[in-house]
Amino acid sequence: MVGQEHVLQALVNALDHDRLHHAYLFTGTRGVGKTTIARILAKCLNCEQGVSSEPCGECSSCLEIAEGRSVDLLEVDAASRTKVEDTRELLENVQYAPSHSRYKVYLIDEVHMLSTHSFNALLKTLEEPPPHVKFLLATTDPQKLPATVLSRCLQFNLKNMPPEQIVGHLGTVLEQEMVSFEEPALWLLGRAAAGSMRDALSLTDQAISFGSGKVNEADVRSMLGSVDLSFIYQLLETLCEGEPTKLLDVVAHMGEHAPDFEGGLDELLSLIHRVAMAQVVPDAIDNSWGDAQRVGEIARAITAEDAQLFYQIALNGKRDIGLAPDPRGGFEMILLRMLAFRPVAVIDDSLGPEDLQPVAQSNQPSAAVEVGTQAKKLHEAPRPAVVPVELMPVEPMPVEAAALESTPVMPAGAVALVDLIPANWPQLLESLGLVGIVYNIASHCDLRSVDNGTLEFFLDTGNASLFNDSHNDKIRLALENYFGHPLSVRIVPGDVQRETPAMRKARLAQERQKQAIASIEGDPRLQKLIARFDGELDRASIVPTDL
């Protein structure tokens, strides 16, 4: 009954309070315990100690049911007896009392395999069963059962078991059997079982034989053909660095061990999921694999945007990898897609390749370009640049260069650093060229103070869940490029006291919406049309033209 507490509670209450039904239907995927629960229920009904939720397991009735020799428990495999003649033969003795038990129990497995005529033959008995008969039906496909049958049964849906429950139960069984094991090996078995406890126990038995009486990670990984997790860590770390050559080298090393590349894609998805969880809730890192520290390091080395992009590309790749000429080629293309579509930079159309200075990719991926005397604009966007470039902090200018360089010309309506106050922060934000999550974070910031090149912001706590240091750096670099001076920027999550740019934008949009509705409602031509055709104005369809 592991993982099926919802079914257990209902059956226990029914048995202990004598609220028995004449027909029970157990549904669920393979290996979750449908037939096992039906046999346990048969013991509860026919135990010589009386009907209860705790059969003794020692009386003759319990022992006969456990050993499969009870004449009053009729087990039928509907998959092999689908004909109506078989069903009639089974039910022709239903009116006779059980031989020596309390109830005559019919356990029909895979009942959905019965033919239409067989269901019709069974239906009459289900409608008016003798008091000494109980029907226990089990199926993996309840949709194929007629509604007339379903309506006459108490239906219990058994759930697939998550790996956590399977691992816990396997650990208990192995401890009782005094078999040594490694916990990571149990997680491999639990995930390979895909929700089926029966499959998990079968795989564990196979792993014990494979490992000469022990269950260790290396043997189980070899038995299942799973990919060594060290390769998966290397793949994600190399993706963070953005090095295609190193990435393909890791895949080549994987290929030397004849891995299951589709399984490797599943492992990569699982790791990216754990990384994304660590970025949002660092304390939630699962250390079942003993790798919490390494997962945390990857979470700090990759942006939340990249983690989400990698996960989506890998998830779509699961659908496409089976169409590739070979699994390794499909796996490599998925990884190369992650690099190709990773946000790097989008540059003003007026710039040419000669205006850019390529630099080495850093461990903290960010998009940028060195800003020169012409104050060229760079904007982040979710598509790659032609040339990998990086936002460079503005260094103090040597005296000789200062004599040659002119002060950057501020665009019309621009905010000078000396004039920057909290009130004009929304105006400045729209001139920084930020997009995506970085713009979203900046728009929820309240400028608290500007003091000698140091800007302090408070970030609205309701929008700070994805904020990290890399976002702080991108906002600082954008401000430095705008003003042409080195700056110190500090963003602290907290309660904002002023209207943030996001709040201001929402307020203005609401005001424009009200003005648009008022303008439409006040249009005399529209009023004439409504009056003439008995129309009605759909206010939800009114949108200001500048939104």
Distance CA 466, CA 531 (A): 52
Indicate whether 256 and 236 sit together in one domain.
yes
Any domain includes 480: no
Q: What is the DSSP letter of 435?
A: -
User: Is a pLDDT exceeding 70 seen at residue 400?
Assistant: no
pLDDT of residue 25: 92
Any domain includes 125: yes
Dump pLDDT digits (tens) for 321-331.
889 898 899 99
In this predicted model, which residue has the larger pLDDT, 26 or 121?
26
Any domain includes 469: no
Indicate whether 44 and 136 sit together in one domain.
yes
Instruction: Flag the least confident range among 95-109, 148-162, 351-365.
Output: 351-365
Distance CA 529, CA 525 (A): 6
User: Is a pLDDT exceeding 90 seen at residue 315?
Assistant: yes
- Last residue of one domain, picked from the residues 306, 340, 374: 340
Cβ neighbours of 472 (radius 10 Å): 18
Q: What is the mean pLDDT of residues 181-190?
A: 86
Indicate whether 39 and 121 sit together in one domain.
yes
Any domain includes 281: yes
Indicate whether 40 and 60 sit together in one domain.
yes
CATH code, domain carrying 107:
3.40.50.300
Indicate whether 234 and 259 sit together in one domain.
yes
User: Is a pLDDT exceeding 90 seen at residue 522?
Assistant: no
Distance CA 306, CA 236 (A): 11
Partners of 241 in the β-ladder: none
CA distances from 417 to 391, 438, 482 (A): 20, 21, 9
User: Is a pLDDT exceeding 50 seen at residue 512?
Assistant: yes
Measure the N-to-C terminal CA separation of the chain; round to a whole number of Å: 57
Q: What is the mean pLDDT of residues 6-26?
A: 87
pLDDT of residue 367: 35
Indicate whether 168 and 307 sit together in one domain.
no
Dump pLDDT digits (tens) for 68-82.
888 888 888 887 777
pLDDT of residue 308: 92
Could you identify the residue written with the tokens 């080629």?
329
CA distances from 256 to 251, 252, 260 (A): 9, 7, 11
Three-class SS state of 413 = coil
Any domain includes 203: yes
pLDDT of residue 229: 78
Q: In this structure, which amino acid lies at residue 215?
A: V
Any domain includes 448: no
Indicate whether 12 and 43 sit together in one domain.
yes
Query: Helices 116-127 and 84-91, interaxial angle, to 10°?
Result: 20
Distance CA 12, CA 249 (A): 58
Any domain includes 391: no
Does the reported pTM lie above 0.75? no
Could you identify the residue written with the tokens 């157990």?
26
Dump pLDDT digits (tens) for 286-314.
665 667 888 888 888 888 888 999 999 99
- Last residue of one domain, picked from the residues 340, 361, 381: 340
- Pair of tokens at residue 541: 């369809």
- The domain of 512 spans 503-541
Three-class SS state of 397 = coil
> CA triplet 182, 187, 190: central angle to 5 degrees?
125
Dump pLDDT digits (tens) for 221-263.
888 776 777 888 889 999 988 888 999 998 998 888 767 888 8
Indicate whether 192 and 236 sit together in one domain.
no
- Pair of tokens at residue 479: 């401000």
Structure confidence at residue 445 as a pLDDT band (50, 70, 90): very high
pLDDT of residue 389: 35
CA distances from 160 to 30, 108, 194, 198, 268 (A): 9, 21, 8, 11, 23
Dump pLDDT digits (tens) for 403-440.
433 334 444 456 788 888 888 899 899 889 898 889 99
- Pair of tokens at residue 148: 């007339």
Distance CA 123, CA 144 (A): 15
> CA triplet 234, 235, 236: central angle to 5 degrees?
95
User: Is a pLDDT exceeding 50 seen at residue 456?
Assistant: yes
- Pair of tokens at residue 248: 């393909």
- What is the enclosing helix (H) or strand (E) of 246? helix 244-255
Dump pLDDT digits (tens) for 481-509.
998 889 999 999 988 888 899 999 989 98
- Last residue of one domain, picked from the residues 157, 177, 210: 157
Structure confidence at residue 44 as a pLDDT band (50, 70, 90): very high
Exposure of 55 in the CB half-sphere (CA atoms within 13 A): 21
Any domain includes 303: yes
Exposure of 275 in the CB half-sphere (CA atoms within 13 A): 28
106 φ, ψ to 5°? Answer: -105, 115
User: Is a pLDDT exceeding 90 seen at residue 442?
Assistant: yes
Indicate whether 297 and 181 sit together in one domain.
no
Indicate whether 19 and 147 sit together in one domain.
yes
- Mean confidence (pLDDT) of the chain: 80
Question: How many domains does the chain divide into?
Answer: 4
- Pair of tokens at residue 131: 């008091």
CATH code, domain carrying 264:
1.20.272.10
CATH code, domain carrying 183:
1.10.8.60
Number of H helices, E strands in the chain: 22, 10
Q: What is the mean pLDDT of residues 357-370?
A: 41
Indicate whether 180 and 220 sit together in one domain.
yes
- Pair of tokens at residue 60: 């003759």
pLDDT of residue 491: 93
pLDDT of residue 547: 54
Reported for 182-187, long-range contacts at CB under 8 A and 24+ positions apart, including other chains, are 182/215, 182/216, 182/217, 183/288, 184/217, 184/288, 184/289, 184/290, 185/215, 185/216, 185/217, 185/219, 185/220, 185/221, 186/215, 187/163, 187/288, 187/289
Distance CA 390, CA 397 (A): 19
Which of 207, 206, 205, 232 minimizes the C-alpha distance to 219?
A: 207
Distance CA 152, CA 56 (A): 30
Indicate whether 149 and 280 sit together in one domain.
no
Cβ burial of 469 (10 Å; 0-12, 13-18, 19+) is: exposed
pLDDT of residue 344: 59
- What is the enclosing helix (H) or strand (E) of 284? none
pLDDT of residue 386: 36
Q: What is the mean pLDDT of residues 34-44?
A: 89
> CA triplet 126, 128, 132: central angle to 5 degrees?
85
